[in-house]
Amino acid sequence: MIFATATIIGIAAGLQRTTIGALLGVALVSIAFMAAVAMSVVPPPLMTLFIALGGYNLGFIGYIVTAGMLEQRRA
């Protein structure tokens, strides 16, 4: 579920077409993880952060590649 949610966030960041949007998405995922670590009695495994960041990157890169292919097809 974490991977799917992060992938959708990555696609949404790609739709914004700004560098600030992309960086803000990564920052928000990381801040949410840090808040979970700070508020939890038993800290979540670090692997969940890596899974979320991997999903974010996959969604973002997937959007960029798809948009590039559509632009190339249109031209």
Q: How buried is residue 10: exposed, middle or buried, by Cβ count under 10 Å (0-12/13-18/19+)?
A: buried
User: Whole-model pTM?
Assistant: 0.83
Of 4-8, 16-20, 54-58, 60-64, minimum mean pLDDT range: 16-20
Question: Which pLDDT belongs to residue 19?
Answer: 85
What CA–CA distances, in Å, run from 42 to 21, 26, 30, 52? 32, 24, 18, 19
Pairwise CA distance, residues 55 & 72, whole Å: 26
Give the domain range for residue 11.
2-74
**Count of C-beta atoms within a 10 Å radius of residue 70:** 10
pLDDT in tens, 10-43: 999 898 888 888 888 889 889 999 999 999 999 8
- Per the structure, the count of domains in the chain is 1
Q: If you average pLDDT over every residue of the chain, what do you get? A: 90
